[in-house]
Amino acid sequence: MQSSTPQVHEEDAPLWTPVRRRRATYVATAVLLLTLLIILPPYISISHYQRRVAAAISGALGRPVHFSSIQMHVLPLPGFTIKYLVVSELPEFGSEPVMVSDTVEARLRISSLWRRRIEVSQISLEAPSINLVRRTDTGRWNLQGIVTQASQISSAPTAQAKAGDAPRFPYIQATDARLNIKNGDNKLPFSVKEAQFSLWLPEESEWHLRFSGKPVRTDTDVSDVGLLRVEGTLGRAADLSATPVDMQASWKPTPLGEAGKLTVGRDMGWRGEASAAATLKGTLAQAKLSGDLHLLALRRADFVPENTAEINAHCEATTAGLLRSLHDIKCAVPTDEETSIFSAMEFLRRTVPTGHDLPDASAKPGVLLLRGDVPDVMHWESVNLQASLKNAQANYALAWLRLFSKRIPRNAGLGGTVDLTAWKEDNGSAKDRWGGTLVCACTLPPPPVVKGEPATAGATSQQANRWNLVLTYGALGVRGETPAGAITVNAYRPSPTDAGRPGTTIPKMAGDEAVSGQLGPNGYTLIYSTRATAEQAAALLPPLGDGMPALDTSTALEAERTWGGPQTWTVAAPVKPEPRARRRR
């Protein structure tokens, strides 16, 4: 016998079952709550808390704080939106506010609401304008006081999972910020735009800072300037001067023409690519600064040479205050590919004697060494600097000359070595603040063969083409005889009896072969003891032979040229300088 089960048709089923009623109730409640969260917050006035909120922010920053309005929001996360926030400045740093931001959003930690204690999880600033001010008398920065105030507030790490006795430090970030720099009442042309900034507390006693932006200079039309990045940590200390600091900064590659506009305010006529990196480690009172500068594919803007130049420099210094001054600056610049920047860095670790003259044992061959101090980083004209170079290849100097003229023969080579000693100091008259000497014990290419002239008898090719070139400037030159800003030139062929390396003492010349004159800001004047000597100089540097008259090879000539203009020649009496020494003590 088959049992029959009554068939229940779908259209006969009840519309509201208990399950469907519960689901509909949940959905309606959620929709109602969502609607209330969207509609009600704008109508809830918390303006009577405005003074209390402003006082809380002011206490945390140590500066008076004002804003136009504050509004609560629930979505996407509960928090507050502050309009036109202004952080005022202390009178000792000026009248302009420390920061102005059109919109500031503070998000609350939801878990803190259940404990009836408000904790801010994140603070976001939209397009703030920040003024970084330095006092000219003490060298203190306005942000130092804010850091001191913040360090006195006990805070838990930002990412701490569970709340403790101390509130967790919020994650602070800023987008599209602008950083302006002032020295006293003077606003400097340097600033950083389109900056991104973030600050948080990874450890209880350590802040982490991250900053990036595009440096600009308002008094130039500089545009493509690369990207500046700064990241590091700032610790806590009872005294601000003892605050530990560990920072790294980098400047992404930027065109050298734009880099010149940014640093010195004008295009200096060089092309290539510039980049830099630096680290600062120590305390705010005293830290170790080290940095690297790279200038690649370096050339003049006038033309593209067959080979470009390259500069890789490593520098180290000790800072006093918050980068207020730099002391014991030491920079190493290798001049040949065989000397790596790493060996130059190792050279800097040694103790280098002070003074303008380095003993032979202290200079690494082929490395340009710079030493000095900057008493005030805001006034670089006060820098004291010494430069020394020992046993660099003479071809290194010739390679630099090729960046200024494409007429130097490709097969022209220069043997021998180059030594340099130079200085700049901030005392005495302006004329005496700069000085230096460059000495090249050079072997020139063979002189041009003159029809009808026999070869020099009894001399090898190397002996016949040995020359000593001495360039002097400032106090190392001849006072009263050299125009202001000019470099004195003396070149002579040493006699076989000359011993040792050439120096600032010019001996009597062997025979009648010599060159003397001056190189100045507007041009040069050179006196050749014979026309044959002028021809040999023109064989190495063809521009020196422009317009040379067809005279007897024993005739003395004087050449004069304004930079960028034609060269003129006159017959001159040969100059034979007597021995003289001009060494600065």
Running DSSP on this structure, what letter comes out for residue 195? E
- Residue 119: CB partners within 8 Å, gap ≥ 6? 108, 109, 112, 163, 167, 168, 170
Running DSSP on this structure, what letter comes out for residue 96? S
Torsion of CA 499, 501, 507, 509, to 10 degrees: 80
Residues of the chain with pLDDT below 50 are: 1, 8, 43, 351, 353-362, 455-462, 476-481, 499-500, 504-511, 577-585
Q: State the Cα–Cα distance between residues 323 and 139, nearest whole angstrom.
A: 9
Chain centroid offset of residue 384 CA: 18
**pLDDT of amino acid 261:** 92
Q: Residue 400 is which amino acid?
A: W
Q: What region does 458 belong to: left with phi over 0, alpha with psi -120 to 50, or beta?
A: left
**pLDDT of amino acid 209:** 93
**pLDDT of amino acid 1:** 47
Tokens of 63: 């500066």
Q: Residue 76: is the preceding peptide bond cis (ω within 30°)?
A: yes
Closest alpha carbon to 542 in 567, 571, 514 = 567
**pLDDT of amino acid 478:** 42
Q: What region does 284 belong to: left with phi over 0, alpha with psi -120 to 50, or beta?
A: alpha
Q: What are phi and psi of 524, to 5 degrees?
A: -145, 160
Sign of the alpha-carbon dihedral angle for 488, 412, 444, 366: positive
Read out DSSP for 494-562? PPTT--S---S-B---STT-EEEEEE-SSEEEEEESSHHHHHHHHHHSGGGGTT-----TT--EEEEEE
Kind and range of the H or E run holding 207: strand 206-217
Tokens of 107: 């998000």
Q: What are phi and psi of 325, to 5 degrees?
A: -150, 160
8 A C-beta contact, residue 465 and residue 497? no
- Residue 221: CB partners within 8 Å, gap ≥ 6? 261
Give residue for tokens 């070139």. Answer: 469
181-215 per-position pLDDT tens digit: 998 888 899 999 999 999 999 998 889 999 999 99
8 A C-beta contact, residue 188 and residue 181? yes
Tokens of 539: 């064989």
Q: Residue 345 is which amino acid?
A: M
Contacts 24+ apart (CB under 8 A), 96-101: 96/131, 96/133, 96/182, 97/131, 98/63, 98/130, 98/131, 98/142, 98/143, 98/146, 99/125, 99/128, 99/129, 99/130, 99/131, 100/128, 100/129, 101/125, 101/126, 101/127, 101/128, 101/129, 101/174
**pLDDT of amino acid 175:** 94
**pLDDT of amino acid 321:** 82
Number of C-alpha atoms within 13 angstroms, CB side, residue 333?
19
**pLDDT of amino acid 11:** 54
- Residue 446: CB partners within 8 Å, gap ≥ 6? 461, 464, 465
Q: State the Cα–Cα distance between residues 535 and 541, nearest whole angstrom.
A: 10
Count of residues for the chain? 585
Q: State the Cα–Cα distance between residues 192 and 184, nearest whole angstrom.
A: 19
Give me Rg for the CA atoms of the chain.
36
8 A C-beta contact, residue 302 and residue 269? yes
Chain centroid offset of residue 508 CA: 46
Q: State the Cα–Cα distance between residues 163 and 154, nearest whole angstrom.
A: 13
Q: Residue 151 is which amino acid?
A: S
**pLDDT of amino acid 492:** 86
Q: State the Cα–Cα distance between residues 179 and 193, nearest whole angstrom.
A: 7
Q: 273-309 burial by CB neighbour count: b if 16+ within 10 A, else e?
A: ebbbebbbebbbbebebbbbbbbeebbbeeeebeebb
- Residue 459: CB partners within 8 Å, gap ≥ 6? none
Tokens of 173: 């970030």
**pLDDT of amino acid 176:** 95
Exposed, middle or buried by CB within 10 Å (0-12, 13-18, 19+), for 332? Answer: buried
**Interstrand relation of 171-183 and 120-126 (parallel, antiparallel or unpaired):** parallel
